[in-house]
Amino acid sequence: MTKNGEKKEEVQYHKIAAWGRLAERAMKLLRKGAKVYIRGYLHNRKIQIDGEEKPRIVTEIIVNDMLVLDRRRRKVEPETVADDTEMPVQEE
C-alpha cells in the first residue's frame, strides 16, 4: 500500500531453467514482466565471472511445469505448457 492507501503491486524477477518441450514453450510464451506460475525447485550453482577472483553463487528455479497467467500471452498460445505432466494454460 502507498501512503495514499492505494494498492501497489509487488514485482519479483527470478532466473529459471527449463529443458526440452517445456523450454521451447517458455521461450515462446514468456517475456520479462509476464505473469506466470512456476512449479519446480531451487538450485544454486557457482559461476565464474571474467575478471573476478571469487565465483558467484546463482540461485535459479528448475522448472517442472508452469502456468501462464498473463492474458496477453494466453491469447497468443492457448495450449499446454508442461514437461512430463500436462498442465493447461489458465483460461478466464
Give residue 91's pLDDT.
Answer: 39
Read off the pLDDT band of 89 (50, 70, 90).
very low
Over residues 23-50, the mean pLDDT reads 90
CB atoms within 10 A of CB 91: 7
CA 33, CA 13: separation in Å to the nearest integer? 8
Give residue 77's pLDDT.
Answer: 44
Give residue 13's pLDDT.
Answer: 87
Give residue 65's pLDDT.
Answer: 92
What is the radius of gyration, based on Cα positions, of the chain? Answer: 16
Q: What is the pTM of this model?
A: 0.61
Write down the CATH number for the domain with range 16-76.
Answer: 2.40.50.140
Between 33 and 50, whose confidence is greater?
Answer: 50
Please write the tens of the pLDDT for every residue from 1-29. 778 888 887 888 889 999 999 999 889 88
